[in-house]
Amino acid sequence: MVISLQFYNHQLIKPDFSMKRIFTKLSLLVAFCILTVSIAFAQNITVKGRVTDGKLPVPGTGVTVKGTTTATVTNNDGEYTISVPANATLVFTYIGFSNREISVNNQTTINVSLTASSNDLEQVVVTGYGTQKRKDLTGSISSVSGEDIARMPAINPIASLQGKVPGLTVVNSGGPGASPVVRIRGVSSPRDADPIYIVDGMIQPDISYLNPADIETIDLLRDASSTAIYGLRGANGVIAITTKSAARGQTRINFTSNFGIQRIQDRIDVANAAEFKTLYNSQLANLGAAPFDYTNYTFDTDWQDEIIRNGIINTNTLSLSTNGEKTSTMVSLAYNTQEGVIKYNDLQRYILRLSQEVRMTDKFKFGGNITGVHSLSNPTAVSLNNAIWSAPIVGIKDDQGRYYSMPSFQRAQVGNAISSLDRNDRTSINKGFRMNGSLFAEVKFLKDFTARSTIYADLGFNTSRGYFPPPFTIVNLGEGVAPTEYTVDPNYRSSVSQSQSETHRYQQDHTVAYDKVFNNVHRVNALAGFTTYRLASSNVSASRQDADLIIPGDPDLWYIPV
């Protein structure tokens, strides 16, 4: 609120000091009123509550103050806390549920029950080897649309599911392109609790190779009735992905680009230099040991600040789709990049996808799709643990660029994290190639029967080569009577390494389905078939180490026969 006061005096001839006092008091009064109004408008209340679907909590629900950008999301228990004006309106949103708006009216506790959106009842979802309308289902299946996935700036599509499905836990590592830890029904096995992924019918260990913009829907099959057809492999849940195909009767050219930043929101609290000295002195005193000499350790380094960064994510997709009377074709080309939250860790990925379907008659059709992926990655040499373990009393390097080592009490176990980062940056070339495709044929016969056969292939090939660069000069700061020393690793041996790995997956599905509606009321469907699956892999690696040969920092020479 803005209050504007303007005073006009056209007849003031003689100064009147009593009038001046009156205006002074009036000015103070107006200022006080403005301050009071501002304070009144600035007073917020804290609202807490829980969001459920009538029974279970709904984690990841968006809670927004209507008409503002103030927002929060519910935690794993469906609980939220938000500071809002006493007369505000809260908007609760979640995929698959109808939005709810609730006036605060000075309430400090607002519990909300969301109801499923009726528009989703006609949605077609994947169930085992077929599809059904949601209204015909009795099992527990959650769906996320491809639009919701594509608008999130993430290279791995599964990372975009975080907070979108009740009961689904997704923990992202922050590494570029890395597959997150996914739990659909908690941990059901001490060995392997990962769900299986079904991409257009093919069983996959992960879907990191998929372009998020190429996904039509993701269906999560949770209960026994939905996953039983996959046997023991479906015990931890099934995530079924359907990729896009050309829209009927339309020709489209589409370009999509997303940009985002990933960051570590809550870092691990560690002691600063002064606190570290206090704690370590107490430990030495309890052990009856002599005090440590901190004379040369005058630094206060936050090692997490030194190795962590905000990672940039960028996804770009150009697609062309066309659908005629007999054929439908879709081609997409994507270029995605991601930086990790640890410095120097990054990934580039190129994806080309082609999908086509040919309808020979109204009873027979065939088609297929193929996806090619090429990736380039640069790994990082340290992890967050390196920063947590490092003593804050040590600096990074001196004025001449020589790196400090850790104090003597942890020198053998912990190294200078920045030294490792700088020494191993861009010292390896890591390439990945993957080809995934399928061919199918489908025929309808005897009016209510449909036979379908599909063969799949997934071929992966990865190569890596690099070298181990010479060490830096290390500074061992003096402690007590021991002087400061400048050393270079005497055991260093120049080395070069190469490795390659191959993975082959083959699958075939053959099914016959029966589907009939009686009296426009009762529906009977049945499915019979079989699947075969074959997995083969191989890898080979070699390294060369030499005391006399010095491998240069030239990538063209990072080969074993150098």
pLDDT for residue 130: 57
Task: Say how many C-beta atoms besides its own lie within 10 A of residue 549's C-beta.
Answer: 12
Q: What is the end-to-end Cα distance of the chain in Å, rounded?
A: 75
Contact between 297 and 393 under an 8 Å Cβ cutoff? The reply is yes
pLDDT in tens, the chain (562 residues): 333 333 333 333 334 444 445 444 445 444 444 444 333 344 789 999 999 988 888 887 888 888 886 888 888 888 999 989 988 999 998 866 788 899 999 899 999 998 876 555 445 555 555 555 544 454 567 778 888 887 777 888 888 887 777 777 888 777 888 888 888 766 655 567 788 898 988 988 888 889 988 988 888 877 666 667 777 777 788 888 888 887 766 788 999 898 888 888 888 999 999 999 999 999 999 999 999 999 999 999 999 999 999 999 999 999 999 888 888 999 999 999 999 999 999 999 999 999 999 999 989 999 999 999 999 999 998 988 999 999 999 999 999 999 999 999 999 899 999 999 999 999 999 999 999 999 999 999 988 999 999 999 999 999 999 998 888 899 999 998 999 999 987 778 888 999 999 999 999 999 999 988 888 778 888 888 888 999 999 999 999 887 777 788 888 888 888 7
DSSP H helical segments within 224-355, as ranges? 224-227, 273-287, 303-307
Contact between 475 and 398 under an 8 Å Cβ cutoff? The reply is yes
DSSP H helical segments within 392-550, as ranges? 417-424
CA gap 44, 83 in Å, rounded: 6
CA gap 527, 129 in Å, rounded: 8
Q: Does domain 44-116 have CATH number 3.60.20.10?
A: no
What lies within 8 Å, CB to CB, of 198 at 6+ separation is 126, 204, 238, 239, 240, 241
Residue with structure tokens 């998929």?
Answer: 210
User: pTM for this structure?
Assistant: 0.73
CA gap 344, 363 in Å, rounded: 55
CA gap 386, 528 in Å, rounded: 54
Contact between 435 and 370 under an 8 Å Cβ cutoff? The reply is yes
DSSP of 415-463: --HHHHHHHHTT-EEEEEEEEEEEEEEEEEETTTEEEEEEEEEEEEEEE
Q: Which 3 state secondary structure label does DSSP give 167?
A: coil
Contact between 146 and 217 under an 8 Å Cβ cutoff? The reply is yes
Closest CA to 462 of 371, 533, 537: 537
pLDDT for residue 249: 66
pLDDT for residue 250: 75
So where are the chain's domains?
A: 1-42, 44-116, 426-562
